[in-house]
Chains A and B, each alone.
Chain A
Amino acid sequence: MTNPTASVATPDQPAPTPGRGIRRIRVPQKLRNVELFLVIFVCAVNALAVVLVQFGALGYADGTVVTLGAGLSILVFGMHIALRFVATNADPFILPIAALLNGIGIAMIYRIDIAENLTGWESTAVRQVVWSGIAIALAIVVVVVIRNHRVLQRYTYLAMLIAAILLLLPMLPVIGQEIYGARVWIHVGAFSFQPGEVAKIALAVFFAGYLVSRRDSLSMVGTKVLGMRFPRARDLGPILLLWAMSMAIIIFQRDLGTALLYFGLFVVMIYVATGRASWVVLGVGLFLAGAVIAGQVLVYVNDRFTNWLDAFNPEIYDATGGSYQLVQGLFGLANGGLIGTGLGEGRPDITPLAQSDYIIASLGEELGLAGLFAILALYLLFISRGLRISFAGQDDFGRLLGVGLSFTVALQCFIVIGGVTRVIPLTGLTTPFLAAGGSSLVANWIIVALLLRLSDTVRNQPRLVI
């Protein structure tokens, strides 16, 4: 997107010394200026969203736009300024896209708050802004502290340990907490957190470090069956271990979505590291087998399948834990139509959990198909930037890490949006950046920080242009 020859011709660029022909192409803050423009645009769109919610739902606008809109804007500008100093060459699109998704999420959560008459600290939107603040502050810390992503490779096994501890925390008796049947929260004082969200980053670091060192044995040897080279039995250890872990999450934490997310992450990373489709075949086969068995044995998994396949059956619709929520979400989407009811003018609050798990249905109702596709396009751009950064990466660890981090966002979107739109059975996961929930925001903003750091390292190589 930058034109190196143009930058050479700029007058502030010193002419290359004749003796040594090294030409270092520096594009002074050009990428950051693009980012600044996009960030200003995004902040205006976010503020407009809050104002429209107020006009639509209340009929007047007051000072709330300052607390909700400006709160996020200041933090995003803070991150932008931090990038000007520590990651000059980072990708200019990731921060604005994440900020826009976060802002649309806050506006929609605020809309649900109005419908439910929540104000002050009761208001989920205010808490979401505070969590965004914490998340972006942590992202700035990550960008400033981790100056080179390769240091993460040193902590491969430490990352595994951290992931394991984070996953086991909700199982502890005192701090662990069970909400809606899933035991994935920890609760300390007034503060609740879903450690599994952060564990996915630690797992991505661990998988990247582990696969970089082991991929030769995982990719080179094996026997050919039906034109596909399958790995040796002794190399199946890691995938079976991960599969066992996912099954343990399904059985003990009763959380289908997280299990699918972790296992999918591992399968994709091993596929990218080895380039062998047999790993995908094995992984998908294992997971489907596990899901079918779990559907037969575990009641809550079986309920999810029934709700999915037979959602419009009145008996299932009326049953406790039935398909009421799913069908209400679909009704909301249908009510939205092509351009939506308009922000603040629909009834998204009828759906339970309209501000977290079902925020996509709420947005679909008020922004319509056009708005929902815009949001999906934003995710597409975000993920394509992530994959692009990994593709351009110079070292294998960074490439794998970039693929893993972008893919977690992609897979999470698919699991949640697919669940809400009845493409796959509904599983409880948060929509990245949009849904109300602190742990999800923290995890996704850290992913943003890591991708920005990776992209800065990629572009910061000495370059010669011919």
Chain B
Amino acid sequence: MSELTLLILQLAFLALLWVFIFIVVYTMRSDLFGQRVRKLKDAAAGPAPASGPAMAGAAAAGAAAGAARPAGAAAAGAPTTPPPGTPKVPTFIPAPGTELSGPPRASTANAGRLVITSGPKSGTDIPLGTEPLTIGRSTDSSVVIRDDYTSTHHARLMVWGEEWVIQDLDSTNGTFLDGQRVTAPVHVPLNTPIRIGATTFELRR
């Protein structure tokens, strides 16, 4: 084998090493630069009108849950039935005379599901275990929300001594629990809306 062929092969080997590195970097680019932002089709599904029905639903569900267990279960089950996309209307009437002295804190014992109450996937729910849930735009989050308002690692729902706590992970646009911006980890009451970007969700039985 001539000197020149060998030199070319040696250079090709170095090039291959770098090609491997660039393939790896290219494949993991979404981890490095974050997920691509998806534009929402419907601007009306933005954050502004989202809180209205969700608040009403929360108040109603809380009241119903306080009044009677079967009614509460039915009310909580209601928002999951409409297919995603249709406007959500509370299908239940709050029981009269019940005071809203604040719903009980969500704990691992009484909260079984996380229900999306507004936003593009309104109506879906996911079961809650005792494991923490991370919320954000990155693909390794437990709940991936991909819109303009969500940060890569936005917020985290975790269990502190049996009770669910939400923590904002220094997100750009904030996490709102019942309309209040979350600054320090706070306990999450049952049936109370948590808003992240254009998505609102609640913890329910």
Q: Among B13, B83, B124, which residue has the most Cβ atoms of chain A within 10 A?
A: B13
Q: Are B131 and A381 in contact (CB under 8 A)?
A: no
B48-56, B66-74, B114-122, B185-193: which one contacts chain A?
B114-122
A52-60, A169-177, A318-326, A431-439: which one contacts chain B?
A52-60
CB of A402 to closest CB in B, whole Å = 13
Q: Among A3, A5, A56, A392, which residue has the most Cβ atoms of chain B within 10 A?
A: A392
**Which B8-25 residues sit within 8 Å CB-CB of chain A?**
9-11, 13-14, 16-18, 20-21, 23-25
Q: Are B80 and A55 in contact (CB under 8 A)?
A: no
Q: Are B144 and A463 in contact (CB under 8 A)?
A: yes
**In the complex with contacts A1-B29, A342-B6, A466-B119 CB distance below 8 A:** yes
Q: Which of B21, B31, B116 contacts A374 (CB 8 A)?
A: B21
For B143, the closest partner residue in chain A by CB is: A464
**Which A235-258 residues sit within 8 Å CB-CB of chain B?**
none
Q: Are A395 and B132 in contact (CB under 8 A)?
A: yes
Main secondary structure of the interface of B (DSSP, over half): mixed
Q: Are B199 and A466 in contact (CB under 8 A)?
A: yes
**A-B pairs under 8 A by CB, number:** 132
The answer for the CA separation of A132 and B173 in the assembled complex, in Å, is: 49
Q: Mark B106-127, 1 if CB is under 8 A from A, else 0.
A: 0000000000100111011111
Q: Which of A1, A23, A92, A466 contacts B139 (CB 8 A)?
A: A1
Please indicate the chain A residues that have their CB under 8 angstroms from the CB of B140 in the complex: 392, 458-459
Q: Which of A1, A45, A463 contacts B27 (CB 8 A)?
A: A1
Q: Which of B21, B24, B31, B80 contacts A20 (CB 8 A)?
A: B80
Please indicate the chain A residues that have their CB under 8 angstroms from the CB of B123 in the complex: 21
Interface residues contributed by chain A, number (CB under 8 Å): 54
CB of A152 to closest CB in B, whole Å = 17
**In the complex with contacts A22-B126, A395-B132, A466-B145, A45-B121 CB distance below 8 A:** no
Q: Are A21 and B84 in contact (CB under 8 A)?
A: yes
Please indicate the chain B residues that have their CB under 8 angstroms from the CB of A422 in the complex: none
CB of A68 to closest CB in B, whole Å = 16
Q: Are B124 and A463 in contact (CB under 8 A)?
A: no
User: Is residue A462 within 8 Å, beta carbon to beta carbon, of the partner chain?
Assistant: yes
**Which B128-153 residues sit within 8 Å CB-CB of chain A?**
131-134, 138-147
Q: Mark A28-50, 1 if CB is under 8 A from B, else 0.
A: 00000010001001100100110
The answer for the CA separation of A394 and B141 in the assembled complex, in Å, is: 9
Q: Which of B23, B83, B138, B144 contacts A18 (CB 8 A)?
A: B83
Q: Are B10 and A342 in contact (CB under 8 A)?
A: yes
Q: Are A55 and B124 in contact (CB under 8 A)?
A: no
The answer for the CA separation of A117 and B16 in the assembled complex, in Å, is: 29
The answer for the CA separation of A381 and B24 in the assembled complex, in Å, is: 8
**In the complex with contacts A1-B31, A466-B145, A52-B21 CB distance below 8 A:** no
Please indicate the chain A residues that have their CB under 8 angstroms from the CB of B83 in the complex: 18
User: Is residue A283 within 8 Å, beta carbon to beta carbon, of the partner chain?
Assistant: no
Q: Are B146 and A466 in contact (CB under 8 A)?
A: yes
Please indicate the chain A residues that have their CB under 8 angstroms from the CB of B126 in the complex: 22, 462, 464
The answer for the CA separation of A1 and B119 in the assembled complex, in Å, is: 25
Q: Which of A23, A38, A45, A461 contacts B142 (CB 8 A)?
A: A461
Q: Are A340 and B144 in contact (CB under 8 A)?
A: no
Please indicate the chain A residues that have their CB under 8 angstroms from the CB of B38 in the complex: 5
The answer for the CA separation of A428 and B125 in the assembled complex, in Å, is: 56
CB of B182 to closest CB in A, whole Å = 19
**In the complex with contacts A97-B24, A374-B17, A462-B142 CB distance below 8 A:** yes
Q: Are B142 and A343 in contact (CB under 8 A)?
A: no
For A42, the closest partner residue in chain B by CB is: B20
Q: Among A19, A22, A368, which residue has the most Cβ atoms of chain B within 10 A?
A: A22
For B115, the closest partner residue in chain A by CB is: A21
User: Is residue B100 within 8 Å, beta carbon to beta carbon, of the partner chain?
Assistant: no
User: Is residue A367 within 8 Å, beta carbon to beta carbon, of the partner chain?
Assistant: yes
Q: Are A45 and B16 in contact (CB under 8 A)?
A: yes
The answer for the CA separation of A24 and B28 in the assembled complex, in Å, is: 23
Q: Are A45 and B131 in contact (CB under 8 A)?
A: no
**Which A358-391 residues sit within 8 Å CB-CB of chain B?**
367-368, 370-371, 374-375, 377-378, 381, 385, 388
CB of A415 to closest CB in B, whole Å = 23
User: Is residue A339 within 8 Å, beta carbon to beta carbon, of the partner chain?
Assistant: yes
For B38, the closest partner residue in chain A by CB is: A5
Please indicate the chain A residues that have their CB under 8 angstroms from the CB of B141 in the complex: 463
Q: Are B84 and A339 in contact (CB under 8 A)?
A: no
The answer for the CA separation of A345 and B10 in the assembled complex, in Å, is: 10
What 19 new A-B contacts, CB under 8 Å, besides A41-B20, A45-B13, A55-B9? Answer: A4-B144, A19-B80, A20-B80, A22-B124, A38-B24, A45-B16, A52-B13, A92-B27, A93-B28, A97-B24, A342-B7, A381-B25, A459-B140, A461-B131, A462-B142, A464-B142, A464-B144, A465-B144, A466-B145
Residues of A near any B CB (own CB < 8 A): 1-5, 18-23, 34, 38, 41-42, 45, 48-49, 52, 55-56, 59, 92-93, 96-97, 100, 339-340, 342-343, 345, 367-368, 370-371, 374-375, 377-378, 381, 385, 388, 392, 394-395, 458-459, 461-466
User: Which 7 A-B pairs give the minimum distances between C-beta atoms?
Assistant: A21-B124, A392-B140, A342-B10, A374-B17, A465-B144, A466-B121, A466-B145
